Structure 1
Amino acid sequence: MSVMTRRALLGALATSPLWVNPVWAQSSNLKISHQFPGGSVAEGDFRDRLCRMFAAEVEKRTRGALKFSIYPGSSLMKTNAQFSAMRKGALDMSLVPLSYAGGEVPEVNIGLMPGLVTSYDQGMAWKNSEVGKELARILAEKGIVVVSWIWQAGGVASRSKPIIDPEDARGLKVRGGSREMDLILKEAGAAVVTLPSNEIYAGMQTGAMDAALTSSTSLISFRLEEVSKALTTGRAGAYWFMFEPLMMSKAVFDRLPKDQQAAIMAVGGDLETFARKAAQDDDAAVAAVYQRAGARVADLNPATLKKWQDIARNTAWKDYAARNANCAKLLSLAEKLL
């Protein structure tokens, strides 16, 4: 067969209704890793559920060209290794607290900046505002694509008394969750403990820490009521708001055809409504869980919230802005939404 004949045949096939694009014909299996307890689409930690819902819907929209394997409970790799692995293209996707990568990329610590986000409306406004666009740009430069923008309020589980006012933390060993949270805890007189949320239970059980700040969902999923005597919830307001997005390796994302990229981003965006409702439901549910376990439950009021925010302005915010020009710009843009 001559070259011209082969070209003519390929041209005819390409315009045939039976023609299947070879890119779509090849099925890819992508790995999604996270640190949270596993469950199902219908039950369990909403972050695991979101990953499973995402996987099912993207597979449906791509007609099976994209499939996913989900690895909960840090079963694929250690929690703090996920962000770096995505940057290198060694991990496809992860739902992970962004601030965990603050030692590698200091800009991402804005995702757990005490007192900077105090409501879901404010946090969810980031995506389409200047601060969200700038954060997405920086992450793209670092090799990360944000697929779903997810915010969670948090509270404090304690082995003894509720931590409400800053002076309540004095002399205690407390887990904050980020460098910036640690700065305000130190200013309040606490000794800080650094570890991922899936290790809090063991730390509190052994007495290596007295209290821990984490999301309402993690306060439930990791059964911290079993090792706690008190809880301060985020249901009436919080200075602890975590940006915990579903993310994808940009190297992996860029290798996919445009149709598959569009499906991933569309499904990721659609699931943000589910994530917000689930997070807010957990803010309310966590109080009942701890009350049933016999813990004393307390809430923050606006005056107390402002005390923590004032400490943050003079410590964590200043420290973050001084890290580099990107950090200063992100903080300035975020403050516009206060």
Structure 2
Amino acid sequence: MLTRRHVLASALAAPAVLRMGVGTAQAATTLKISHQFPGGTIDKGDFRDRLCRMFAAEVAKRSGGDLTAEVYPNSSLIKTNAQFSAMRKGALDLSLYPMPYAGGELPETNIGLMPGLVTTYDQGLRWKKEPVGKALSDLLADKGILLISWVWQAGGVASRSKAIVAPEDAKGLKVRGGSREMDMVLQTAGAAVLSVPSNEIYAAMQTGACDAGITSSTSLISFRLEEVAKSLTSGASASYWFMLEPLMMSKAIFDKLPKNQQDIILAVGADLEAFGRKGAQDDDIEVTKVYEKAGAKVSALDAAIVGKWRDIARDTAWKDYGAKTATSANLLKLASDVAA
């Protein structure tokens, strides 16, 4: 008996059309890319959606149409938190996915949002070529996931009331942090925490279930949190919140593709990393304009305040994460060796 999952898995992984060559018929493969962010076009909208659309267009161009991709925004294909598991099983081809969302299934992935561990884009993007990048890539590959494009995003705080700048500002508030480790830091600072994906922060703040949400500058804009916020803390100049939000691919699907198509996917993914960085940094600036226009008070972080958050994290979240597994301890050590 075919279950819905079997039907979905078959539909996602199946070749879509036949391309006719001279005397031959070659199956053209259509990959499906899922993400939780608002959809747009290749030229306008959330840069993460645009990156996925650019990826789809470029792999089609370089493969002569033998490899194509379709983008499904707003978690319209698969629910947000289920995307990582679906890729591991080969039931989803690709996703631009916030890495620590996989923390419940694979705790080591929480290294992708460890408060105060990454404090600049240069530092985060150096991971790829440093030992920490190899160790993380090897771990994920062993679990059925390939990193195609490394994307880091700085974050800030949207609050329904007072600004959350220093740790003491969070006391008594209900705050969405974005990872287990960020939640530990917030709890140490005296906050209550709420664990929801970024596409659910708006509703939580609107109903009062959440007083403030910490998320990327892009999500602060794309999810229109300025409509429910009176204060913004910008991470444009400095931030303790950097999220690894890469374009990932199912290893099972990747391994079935011919070598030339694999090479195209990896090359396009690497080429798009510069666009990802620019998109994130542009939004770090744009978010202030959006919130000021909406009438919110905007505050900024500086190195001294980031240091306060890092000190709490080092004594709580970093220790807890490093004690989880030998792999976690090694990843934390290797990441700490990458200078800011």
Residue matched to 2:107: 106
The question of whether the paired residues in 1 share the 8 Å contact of 2:239 and 2:302 is answered with: no
Once the two structures are TM-superposed, the CA of residue 217 in structure 1 deviates from its matched residue by 0.1
The one-character-per-residue Cα deviations of 1:101-142 (angstroms, maximum 9, x if unpaired) are 001001100000000000000000000100001000000000
Please name the residue that 1:49 is paired with.
Answer: 50
Q: Distance in 1 between matches of 2:270 and 2:129?
A: 12
Q: How far does residue 308 in structure 1 lie from its aligned partner after superposition?
A: 0.2
SS in 2 for 1:254: helix
Aligned mates of 1:135, 1:302 — CA distance in 2: 27
Work out whether 1:328 is the aligned partner of 2:303: no
1:302 equivalent in structure 2 = 303
**Deviation per residue, 1:2-52 (Å, 9 max, x gap):** xxxxxxxxxxxxxxx9576x6xx2101111000000000000000000000
Between the aligned partners of 2:68 and 2:279, the Cα distance in structure 1 is 25
Kindly state the Cα deviation for residue 68 of structure 1 after the two structures are TM-superposed: 1.1
Q: Per the alignment, in what secondary structure is the counterpart of residue 274 of structure 2? A: helix
How much has 1:77 moved relative to structure 2? 1.1
What 5-or-longer segments of structure 2 have no aligned partner?
Answer: 1-20
Secondary structure of 2:129's aligned partner: coil
Aligned to 2:264: 263
Output aligned runs, 1:236-255, within 5 Å. 236-255=237-256
Q: TM-score, normalised by structure 1?
A: 0.93
CA distance in 1, matches of 2:330, 2:304: 28
The answer for unaligned runs of 5 or more in structure 1 is: 1-16
Structure 1 match to 2:86: 85
Counterpart CA distance in 1 for 2:100 and 2:49 is 19
Q: Structure 2: how far apart are the matches of 1:69 and 1:284?
A: 30
Structure 1 partner of 2:320: 319
Q: Which residue of 1 aligns with 2:215?
A: 214
2:199 maps to what in 1?
A: 198
Report the counterpart of residue 231 of structure 2 in structure 1: 230
TM-score under structure 2 normalisation?
Answer: 0.93
Per-residue deviation, 1:242: 0.2
Q: Distance in 2 between matches of 1:237 and 1:274?
A: 21
Q: Which amino acid aligns with 1:300?
A: L
CA contact (8 A) 2:198 2:219 kept: yes
Give percent identity, aligned residues only: 67
Aligned residues: 319
Q: Pairwise CA RMSD of aligned residues?
A: 1.0
User: Hey, what's the Cα distance between the residues in 2 that align with 1:18 and 1:289?
Assistant: 54
CA distance in structure 2 between the aligned counterparts of 1:199 and 1:273, rounded to whole angstroms: 28
Give the aligned residue type for 1:131: V
